[in-house]
Amino acid sequence: MKGVECAFVGRLGRDAQIRRSSAGREWLSLGVIVGEGDDEQWISVASWSHTIQELVSQLTQGARVYVEGKIKLRSWLGEHGEVKFGLSVSASLVQPLALIGMNRPKRPRAGKAKLMQTSAAISAPLPFDDEISF
């Protein structure tokens, strides 16, 4: 496996964008900010996941995200000819943090009688509570 694996939480510095490669394949482009204050760092994230159409509407500027993937240090020439450096990630997972737990089914509310039955059943001895002799 080539590359350095990473996982991080950050916030989006801009809305996610769907782009198209020269081969016609769609990919998701994200600008994620990690750290705070003087330690802030931008990370360019590309996701080739098949769920990008569903994600793009949820990934707006300021949204918090969890990202897993392979990270690389990139270099390029700035507009005045200076060498610049930045981090980029080829993401295997992009998860909007505001959505965690939203797919969990709601538990039906138990009425007072149901709650009493449940608590009585919990305090009753279980059939396998006998002593085990070793």
Mean pLDDT computed over 81-96: 92
The CA–CA distances, whole Å, from 11 to 16, 59, 104, 111 equal: 11, 9, 24, 41
Mean pLDDT of 52-73: 89
Residue among 79, 80, 70 at smallest CA distance from 44: 70
* Identity of residue 50: H
User: Is 90 within 8 Å of 57 (Cβ atoms)?
Assistant: no
Say whether pLDDT at 101 is over 50.
yes
On the question of pLDDT at 129 being above 60, the answer is no
Structure tokens at 68: 């897993």
CB 11 within 8 A of CB 31: no
**C-beta separation of 32 from 10 below 8 A:** yes
Q: Is pLDDT larger for residue 49 or for residue 65?
A: 65
